[in-house]
Structure 1
Amino acid sequence: MKILHAFIFFSIKHAGGTSDLMFKIAKAQKKAGFSPIILSGDYKFDHELADQLQGVDFMVCKSFFDKLGFSIMPSMIWKLIKVSKDIDVVHMHVFRTFQNVILYFFCKIYSIPYVMDAHGAVPYHENKRFLKKFFDFVIGKKILKDAKVLVAETEVGKQEYLEIMPELNDKNIVVLSPPFDTDEFLSLPKRGVFREKYKIDNDLKVVMFLGRIHYIKGNDFLIRGFADALKLRPDLYLILVGPDDGHMDECKKIVEDLDITKNVLFTGFLGGEHKNSALVDADIVVQLSRFEQGAWAPLEGVLCKTPIIVTSDTGTGEDVKRLKAGYLVDFDNNKMLADTIIEIIENYEDAKDLTYIARDFIIKNLSMNARVGEYIDLYK
């Protein structure tokens, strides 16, 4: 079976979790004997990451206007026509893209089934709200209606589809939480490497965020809640690990306004072993998103044996609650966040026990190797 995975970017550093998950699905599908192909634009394309997918074919298209938020790839039309007889199914990642519009007509013309995997990109939110509604009016709802399967990572994600299009048949919406490529977490980095590199005292209690510095990730809330906790525990230290995605300047201004610059570090992007070293050396990993489909980033913390805190009314909160993998707080409740940070630090062995149990369950039951068949079942 030849599976075309399509996303506008192929770079974990630039595009975060969607590229990461697509990479891992393709890797597992190839290992299982299938033939995945990745269709992507050339903007910020990560050649080193692509080299890690031995035996996986790539269709890389010249992309225009990416910095303006529009990834336009005219050449993909001719590339798709050339391979039209070879593709068995298309797996679209994210929703409102030029790429998916072309793929929609391609699939209709050549009678190729497709799966829509929106990764939390369905809600309108505030950013580009009018453009999103216009897209849906013109073509977006047709893409959803004609999909063989709509993939939601949580029940929250399922409701997001139904909220913008109530007439969808919910039987066509499959809730499939992302599996975990647990192999890289079976042998963890030695403790202390990250702290030594960044000259962080071993006596400090590190609270760490991992991900893009974007408004939706709620780091403004994290910083304010951390500042409240810092008043009670001067040994706390906040580290934000990830690239700027439009919210870095505001976060740094909040840090300055709260006069906590000596207790906060922004590292920028860290990947691979460097990322895992950071997670191992943290005392708590947090993800306090306003909206989030799934809990991949914080559960990487669990796989590195570090307790986690997430926001409750999100797909992330749903995952963490279901797995009993960590602690939940209400978004924008600074006191609740501060109290939870203090509670974990002061009852750390209990927090570690909870984390270890969840880690073992994830490795045994939710690994990519154990669940790759679920992705193949989507296409049948």
Structure 2
Amino acid sequence: MKILHVTPFFKPSWEAGGPPRSVYELARRQVKKGHHVTVFTTDGFKKRLDVKKNKPLDVEGIETYYFRNLSLYMAGALNFTLPYYLPLVARKKIKEFDIIHIHEHRTFLAMVAHHYAHKYHLPYLLQPRGSAPKVNKNKLKEIFDKIAGNDIVYHSCKILATSKMEQEQYKNYFPLLDMDKVELLPNGIDLDTYQVLPAEGQFRKDYGIKKEEIIILYLSRLYSTKGLDILIQSISEILEDKPFIRLVIAGPDDHYQDKLEEMISQLKIEDRVLITGPLYGKKKDEAYRDADIFVLPSQTESFGNVVVEAMASFNPVVVTRTCGVSEWLNPDNSVVINYDKLELKRALVDLLNDNDKRIKMSQNARKKVMSTFNWDKIVDELDEIYQECL
């Protein structure tokens, strides 16, 4: 099968969050299954990639086009990509494919892919990857939907949601949508990466964290909807009785770090909170390995890949119900809470007070990941969904 993935960002633009990693893992496994896979993407998020632009490159067997963005500021700060050379390639190339897989729908790439799919009568799937809600830039999103977004959604042969929460978002924002074509499919992780974990202690050594300190790890973008405000407030209160904890905040800044640092300073907990910046590859794995508790308290999250990664690293996790991944979890392998500071504080204190519970939960978390979030299994299910469109 000839498959085209259309995505704003792709390997190695990891700073753009979970979607680039998910598309990459999906595409390389499709290649292993014998499919011919092509990716249309852009040349970077907040910095330009050092790659050949507007021409096909071989990325681990994936034919990849990195189209030059008109403006990195628009891509990074405004989340609007404008790869101006894309239409010139798409109008000739796109008719070669059997199916098109569009990731995120409010993008110029999605507009172009939809236009030529419609012109050449090609089926396409839409995977929103959190793009359905109109949480920020509501007016701009409404304008986009009137111009192109509604057509992109309604004309798709299938829509892939990573959670029931994401299904409901599409039901609410696109009331004319036939919900029978919305399929539920989780994200996965590369299980091979987590077969052999790093040795314990390296992350602590690198950042001067003592062995007796309990690390509570947050690893994701530093952004206003991620719940970092209630996390910091909770930690400040917990420190009054448990001064041995250390909160580690890791991830790329998305116009929020200055506010976080101001909050930490006002609470006078600078010595108990570490902001590392983004961590990738080995450094990220070492952070997971040394963490005692992982937390993702987001107001909204279509899925939350980092939760699965933490679970694979034997971390007990605390996650809000507003994260799509929470629907796949249960009390044996995680703590799922409402988006609420008091609930977050209670969950963390409960785990801090019970080392045996943390150990048991971390073991169950690892088992859950191996059985549910397996990319090879997910790709097999996706093949069946593709066939329904052909």
- TM-score normalised over the length of structure 2: 0.92
Is contact 1:214-1:246 (8 Å) kept? yes
Pick the aligned partner of 1:314 from 312, 318, 323. 323
Residues 239 and 368 of structure 1: CA distance in aligned 2, closer, same or farther (over 3 Å): same
The residue that corresponds to 2:122 in the other structure is 112
Is contact 2:185-2:378 (8 Å) kept? no
The residue that corresponds to 1:9 in the other structure is 9
Task: Please tell me whether residue 165 in structure 1 is matched to residue 174 in structure 2.
Answer: yes
The residue that corresponds to 1:240 in the other structure is 249
Task: Please tell me whether residue 71 in structure 1 is matched to residue 119 in structure 2.
Answer: no
Following the alignment from structure 2 to structure 1, what is the Cα–Cα distance between the partners of residues 188 and 322? 21
Aligned residues: 376
Name the % identity. Answer: 26
The residue that corresponds to 1:329 in the other structure is 337
Following the alignment from structure 2 to structure 1, what is the Cα–Cα distance between the partners of residues 211 and 348? 18
Pick the aligned partner of 1:375 from 375, 378, 382. 382
Task: Please tell me whether residue 38 in structure 1 is matched to residue 47 in structure 2.
Answer: no
Q: Which moved more, 1:39-48 or 1:349-358?
A: 39-48
The residue that corresponds to 2:106 in the other structure is 96
How far does residue 12 in structure 1 lie from its aligned partner after superposition? 4.2
Is contact 1:181-1:369 (8 Å) kept? no
Is contact 1:294-1:319 (8 Å) kept? no
Pick the aligned partner of 1:349 from 325, 340, 356. 356
Letter of the aligned partner of 2:351 in structure 1?
I
How far does residue 264 in structure 1 lie from its aligned partner after superposition? 0.5
SS in structure 2 of the partner of residue 9 of structure 1? coil
Q: Deviations over 1:39-98 (max 9, x none)?
A: 1111345569x9994111111111113313221112111111232342111111112011
Following the alignment from structure 1 to structure 2, what is the Cα–Cα distance between the partners of residues 284 and 361? 17
Following the alignment from structure 2 to structure 1, what is the Cα–Cα distance between the partners of residues 211 and 352? 14
Residues 47 and 36 of structure 1: CA distance in aligned 2, closer, same or farther (over 3 Å): farther
Is contact 1:292-1:314 (8 Å) kept? yes
Following the alignment from structure 1 to structure 2, what is the Cα–Cα distance between the partners of residues 21 and 276? 17
Runs (5+) with no aligned partner, structure 1: none
Following the alignment from structure 1 to structure 2, what is the Cα–Cα distance between the partners of residues 37 and 52? 9
Give 1:49-88 correspondences, 5 Å limit. Answer: 53-68=59-74, 69=78, 70-88=80-98
Q: Which moved more, 1:211-220 or 1:355-364?
A: 355-364
Letter of the aligned partner of 1:96 in structure 2?
R
Is contact 2:298-2:322 (8 Å) kept? no
- TM-score normalised over the length of structure 1: 0.94
Q: Deviations over 1:100-155 (max 9, x none)?
A: 11111010011111111001110111x21100011111211111110010111000
Letter of the aligned partner of 1:317 in structure 2?
S
SS in structure 2 of the partner of residue 29 of structure 1? helix
Following the alignment from structure 2 to structure 1, what is the Cα–Cα distance between the partners of residues 367 and 216? 23
Following the alignment from structure 1 to structure 2, what is the Cα–Cα distance between the partners of residues 91 and 324? 35
The residue that corresponds to 2:23 in the other structure is 22
Q: Which moved more, 1:258-267 or 1:87-96?
A: 87-96
SS in structure 2 of the partner of residue 90 of structure 1? strand
How far does residue 185 in structure 1 lie from its aligned partner after superposition? 0.4
How far does residue 167 in structure 1 lie from its aligned partner after superposition? 1.6
The residue that corresponds to 2:234 in the other structure is 225
Give 1:176-215 correspondences, 5 Å limit. Answer: 176-215=185-224
Following the alignment from structure 1 to structure 2, what is the Cα–Cα distance between the partners of residues 318 and 129? 27
